[in-house]
Amino acid sequence: MNYKFRQAYQEDIPMVWTILQHAILRRKNEGSNQWQDGYPNESIVIQDIIKGIGYVLTLEGIIVGYCAILFNDEPEYDKIVGQWLTNGDFIVFHRVAIAEGYLRKGLAQMLLGFIEALARKQNIPSLKADTNFDNAAMLALFAKLGYTYCGEVYFRGSPRKAFEKVLI
């Protein structure tokens, strides 16, 4: 299988938004309040791509996953209730979503592996992320991949579990 990880292009917006819409619905059907407040939305996807922070995972040219990647830029992380493992450079990723029909095939793990490789290539020693308290799949993935729970951060008034993985 020929998987690739690349920055998203403007022509990717419709497919990325479809993937996120399905992920939003999955979270709702799981009884979660994550992503049930109008975020993320198509405007966020457009801004991600315009800013160059939207990334896609492709299989034979078909978009099968999406995330946003920020370098040293998440103001809410400065207000953690807890403590990060490191204080230096980091990558933070948000809006991780896998396309319908490609779920439970290890693609979220693969996507996070590509993010880790990007960090290592740029000598960035840390990955930081957060997820909702009831996102069992992401919590299990963080545990499997060696992320450490560091505390809570707040987005749009809701607490989220914050994690870090030190790469060096």
The pLDDT tens digits for 21-74 are 999 999 999 988 889 898 999 999 999 999 999 999 999 999 999 999 999 999
- Residue 40, SS3? coil
At 100 the pLDDT is 95
For residues 121 and 155, the answer to whether their CB atoms sit within 8 Å is no
For residues 88 and 128, the answer to whether their CB atoms sit within 8 Å is no
CA separation for the pair 162, 149 (Å, rounded): 6
At 40 the pLDDT is 95
71-92 average pLDDT score? 96
Question: Quick check: bond before 40 cis, omega within 30?
Answer: yes
Spell out the residues 6+ positions from residue 126 whose beta carbon is closer than 8 angstroms to its own: 84, 85, 86, 88, 89, 90, 91, 119, 164, 165, 166, 167
DSSP H/E element including 44: helix 42-51
Q: 110 pLDDT exceeds 90?
A: yes
134-162 average pLDDT score? 95
At 168 the pLDDT is 83
CA separation for the pair 125, 122 (Å, rounded): 9
- Exposed/middle/buried for residue 93 (C-beta within 10 Å: 0-12, 13-18, 19+): buried
Give the residue among 39, 147, 43, 138 at the shortest CA–CA distance from 91. Answer: 147
Spell out the residues 6+ positions from residue 149 whose beta carbon is closer than 8 angstroms to its own: 142, 161, 162, 163
